[in-house]
Structure 1
Amino acid sequence: MEENQGTIIGKNVAEKTPAEAAKEIQDLLAQLQTNYPTTTEYEKQVFVNKFNDEVKTNSRVRDVILAGGIELIKILCPPLGIPIEMGKRWLETAQKQK
């Protein structure tokens, strides 16, 4: 039986250092903060929703987030820390109930 190792064609995702990933996320957050201020709780929620939309629709942003990790996002964008932790706790609770 022959083993197929597969072929990678057109690999567009370059490996990023944590510093490069942080810079790219900071640039995106700065752009979002220009368009969506975070003074009030409502504005913070709008900002988080816009960031979430960007993550869902932009594969480049997803790749950067994976390179930088969730903790990096929490440091760069403190308003996202609460929903991230809520999601983590929800997943932990759901896994314990299995």
Structure 2
Amino acid sequence: MTYNLKDLKEKHRKNKDTISLTLHNNKEVKCDVLSIFTVKNKEYIAVLPKKSETVLLYRYNERNYSPVLTNIEDSREYALVSHRFMKLNQ
């Protein structure tokens, strides 16, 4: 999917929410939170790593007031989530 990152960054510039992701190699990546949204009664999060042009989409939950992100493994689910994210950011 292609997103106009200039528009996304401008739209969310005032949104100062960030999240740190720990990757499988234990490297930590700081990301801007672009959006938290619902698709078919599940919550998802769109994040943009600092110094990157790739928006990442994850399933989103909270456990003990802390965010829990889960990879979206199903290609149909990912397509629905990606489409919804694009619609929200038009």
Q: TM over 0.5, yes or no? A: no
Higher relative contact order (CA 8 A, sep 6+): 1
TM-score normalised to structure 2 length:
0.28
Greater helix share, 1 or 2?
A: 1
TM-score normalised to structure 1 length:
0.27
Greater strand share, 1 or 2?
A: 2
Structure with bigger gyration radius: 1
